[in-house]
Amino acid sequence: MLVRLEAAQDRSYPERPKHKLGHDSMRESITEGLALIFKGINHLREAFPNRAFTIDGRLVGDIGEVIAALEYDITLDSVSQPGHDGCSSDGRRVQVKATFQESLTFKTCPDYYLGFKLYPDGRHEEVFNGPGRIILERYAHRKGIGTQLLSFPIGELRSLSAQVDPAERIPSREA
């Protein structure tokens, strides 16, 4: 399922957001911000064609975490924690990952993993939502699984996610 995310959220961590803008205005801010970022990246690529200026990195991770906090039953940690970015209301620790590329990563097996594919126009797609052990079990044969940062193809993660019992997913927030 593709979702168009159109704004950011002003968040006081780890409590619930204190809105300065309406929900629609906040979502629109993400769409407008991404358009500006990609305009800047294209400008840099034209000026310096020997460099890729890839978008993935901390910026992308932060965007994924904002999407998770807006769209799912997750409160983000105020300070980065090893192995997870926040917790659901029932105490499940959740690692959030996002990418504009064709794979997502993890190093150590998270309790729960919520992965997003992002698109330059502000849309996002949930690629995986469920226990991290499902990914770990699928890739148990890979050297370094659970100890090294490894990439997992978006298509494979979609297929694994489709098999996750709904009770084992992080629930979406009510709109």
Percent helix, strand and coil across the chain, each rounded to 5?
A: 35, 25, 40
Residue 56 in tokens: 């993935």
| Farthest CA pair distance, the chain | 50
- Residue spans per domain, the chain: 2-168
Q: What is the model's pLDDT at position 118?
A: 94
Per-residue pLDDT tens over the stretch 94-125: 999 999 999 999 889 999 999 999 998 889 99
- The least confident of 18-32, 66-80, 91-105, 130-144 is 18-32
What angle (nearest 5°) sits at the alpha carbon of residue 70, between those of residues 164 and 159? 25
Which DSSP state fits 153? E
| pTM of the predicted model as reported, rounded to 2 decimal places | 0.74
Residue 121 in tokens: 């126009």
Helix, strand, or coil (residue 87): strand
